[in-house]
Structure 1
Amino acid sequence: MGTVVENVAIDCADAYGLARFWGAVVGRDVEGEAGDREVRVGMAEGPALYFNQVPEGKAGKNRLHLCLRPDTSRDEEVERLLALGASFLADRRNPDGTGWAVLADPEGNEFCVLRSQSERAAAN
């Protein structure tokens, strides 16, 4: 027996606005409209991203975060995400190419950008 993860819920101040950012990140459509308090971004595989508008702001570090593995290089993806409105928080990349970059979405939720599969394969 088991259960299925239906979605990853993200509390936020602007459900539609944050869903638009994440929809652009993952290249998927936003299911909702401006002003909606609950908005969804359906994924091609795995659980959906579900944005729930809440009255309180983010406080402290995320206890759960998303890790992204891009199709392009990690560094190219970091630049793309910064152009979409992400903020750079920490550089955990190592000289040997391992590691990750820590970014934050427009509401301050941390997430990581990992190396692509091709970068990982080239290192082996």
Structure 2
Amino acid sequence: MMVERVPILKIGDVLLVSIQIDLQDQSVLALQEDLAEKISATGAHGVVIDISAVEIVDSFIGRMFATIASISKLFDADTVVVGMRPAVAITLVELGLTLGGVRTALDLERGMKILGVLGRQRRGER
């Protein structure tokens, strides 16, 4: 079976992941691996995961978003999930998933602003 892959685009020192497919467990696992490899290869300091096209999540996919953020953090990259639909937010809360460590923003522009502020703080700390 062919696993659909989610494209990962590099914009400056940020990786943009725009999920436009129906997420299956295998595609989420592939994304986790692909993203870890891309962060390592590029040295990106931020990851934006756009889930505006995602209509349904289950507990596995919800946990994987938190896992992806944890993996990104190990590579010194901050993660922002953008574009969450109200139904997805409600489902995550009903499943008891808080997405610990994952910042969220209403849209891509706000997500990029969050990473911009974090980027300036990071440069100031070094």
Bucket of the pairwise TM-score, normalised by the shorter protein: under 0.3
Output the TM-score relative to the length of structure 2: 0.27
Between Structure 1 and Structure 2, whose CA radius of gyration is higher? 1
